[in-house]
Amino acid sequence: MKAVIFKGSGIPLEVGDFPKPRPVKDQVLIRLKAAALNHRDLWIIDEQATVNRPEGVILGSDGVGIVEDVGEDADPLLTGAEVIINPSMEWGNNSLVQGDTFKILGFPDNGTLAEFITVSKKYIFEVPEGLTLEESAALPLSGLTAYRALFSKARLRAKEKVLITGIGGGAALWALTFAVAYGARVYVTSGSDEKIARAVSLGAAGGFNYTKQDWAESAAREAGGFDIIIDSAGGDQFSKLIELALPGGRIVNFGRTAGTITNLPTRLLYWKQLSIFGSTMGTRDEFLSMIDFVESRKLKPVIDGVYPIDQVKGAFERMRSKDHFGKLVIRL
C-alpha cells in the first residue's frame, strides 16, 4: 500500500510502498479515504532522531475511511461502515489525566497517512452526520484538544469572554468554532492581520496582532480582560496572558509553538486567583461529546487545502511556513 514513511529526523519523508496491515483480535481494517496533518507530525519529524523499525513508521493521527475487514471479536457487520478514528488511545481510568500507557495514533504506532490502517474497534465511531469524509478528517486530534480545553478544563459558560492565541491552526480554529457556537464572546491573536480578519468572519469579536508591541494593552482596552484564555504557544508572551486574565480567570495551554514559558508574573497569578491548566488530547467520553456537539450545532471545520498523498510534502511545507489557515487534509 502507499504510505507516508518517516525514518528519523534529518531523513526526508518518503511516499512509498509499505506492507498492508491485517486485522487481528479486536481490530478492524480501514481503507482510509482522508487524513489530516497536525503540528504534532512536524514535532515528530524535527525531534525524533531515530525510529526503532528499519521500515520506518507511518505518520498521521487524523483519519476517516471505510471498514474493509475485521479481526476476531470484531463484529462483521462493521464491514462497509464509514468511520472516524479517535487518535487518543489507552487513556486509562482517570478522566483528569492520561495514564502511563497513553499514546497518540501516528507515533510510535503506524498512523493514518496511508491507504490502510488497523485499529481496535473501540477507537472507531460513525462519521459525524453532516460532514463529508474530508471534513471529518479535519476533526479528531485538534477538535478533541479544543473541546477538552474549553469545556472540561476551562468550564466555558455562555457569554464569557474568551481569548484564543495563534489563530489559524486546527485546534485554535476549533476552539473558536466551539466557543462562538456556545455563545461566548471570542477574541483572537495572530501575527497576521489577514488571519485576524478571517477569524472575525467566522464569528470572532475582534483580534490583536501579537507582533505589535502594545497588542496586550490594546486587548485590555477593547475587551477589558478575559474569563478564559486558550493558548497553544507558551513562550515569552505567556506572561501577558496572566495580565489579561480577569480575576478568577482560567488559562489553558496545550502547545509550545513559541517555546518555554518564562517570566511568569507570580503576584498577579495568586492575587487574581487564576487557574492555569495544562491539557493534552482527551477521553473517549469527551470524543463522543465533541462529535455530538459538532452534529447538534451543525458545525464545519475550516480547511486550508486538500492534497493528494503524492503532494504531502507540499502540505507539510505549508504547515511549516505558518501561512495556512485551517486544516491541511490529505486525500487517500
The pLDDT, as a whole number, for residue 213 is 93
Does 194 reside within a domain?
yes
The pLDDT, as a whole number, for residue 291 is 98
Q: Residue ranges of the alpha helices (H) in 182-283?
A: 193-201, 215-223, 238-244, 266-271
Looking at the fold, whether 228 and 108 belong to one and the same domain comes out as no
Looking at the fold, whether 271 and 189 belong to one and the same domain comes out as yes
Looking at the fold, whether 127 and 12 belong to one and the same domain comes out as yes
For residues 189, 195, 198 and 199, what is the CA-based torsion angle, rounded to 10 degrees? -20
Looking at the fold, whether 148 and 273 belong to one and the same domain comes out as yes
Q: Is the pTM of this model over 0.85?
A: yes
Q: From its phi and psi, is residue 24 left (phi > 0), alpha (psi between -120 and 50) or beta?
A: beta
62: nearest Cα among 104, 23, 97: 104
Does 112 reside within a domain?
yes
Q: What is the rounded distance in angstroms from the CA atom of residue 219 to the CA atom of residue 207? A: 8
Looking at the fold, whether 247 and 273 belong to one and the same domain comes out as yes
What's the chain's Rg over C-alpha atoms? 20
Looking at the fold, whether 207 and 168 belong to one and the same domain comes out as yes
Looking at the fold, whether 270 and 252 belong to one and the same domain comes out as yes
Does 113 reside within a domain?
yes
Residue 13, φ and ψ in degrees, nearest 5: -60, 145
Cell representation of residue 117: 490502517
Does 292 reside within a domain?
no
The pLDDT, as a whole number, for residue 52 is 82
Looking at the fold, whether 168 and 218 belong to one and the same domain comes out as yes
Looking at the fold, whether 243 and 260 belong to one and the same domain comes out as yes
Looking at the fold, whether 49 and 108 belong to one and the same domain comes out as yes
- The residues, any chain, with a CB within 8 Å of residue 192's CB and separated by 6 or more, are 168, 209
Structural domain count, the chain: 2
Does 31 reside within a domain?
yes
Boundaries of domain holding 133: 2-139+301-331
The pLDDT, as a whole number, for residue 73 is 87
Residue 114 in contact with residue 32, Cβ under 8 Å?
yes
Looking at the fold, whether 147 and 247 belong to one and the same domain comes out as yes
Looking at the fold, whether 155 and 120 belong to one and the same domain comes out as no
CATH number of domain containing 182: 3.40.50.720
Does 326 reside within a domain?
yes
Does 6 reside within a domain?
yes
Residue by residue, pLDDT tens for the chain (332 residues) are 999 999 998 899 999 999 999 999 999 999 999 999 999 999 999 988 778 888 999 999 999 999 999 999 889 999 999 999 999 999 999 999 999 999 999 999 999 999 999 999 999 999 999 999 999 999 999 999 999 999 999 999 999 999 999 999 999 999 999 999 999 999 999 999 999 999 999 999 999 999 999 999 999 999 999 999 999 989 888 999 999 999 999 999 998 888 888 888 999 999 999 999 999 999 999 999 999 999 999 999 999 999 999 999 999 999 999 999 999 999 99
CATH number of domain containing 107: 3.90.180.10
- The residues, any chain, with a CB within 8 Å of residue 92's CB and separated by 6 or more, are 98, 99, 100, 101, 102
Does 248 reside within a domain?
yes
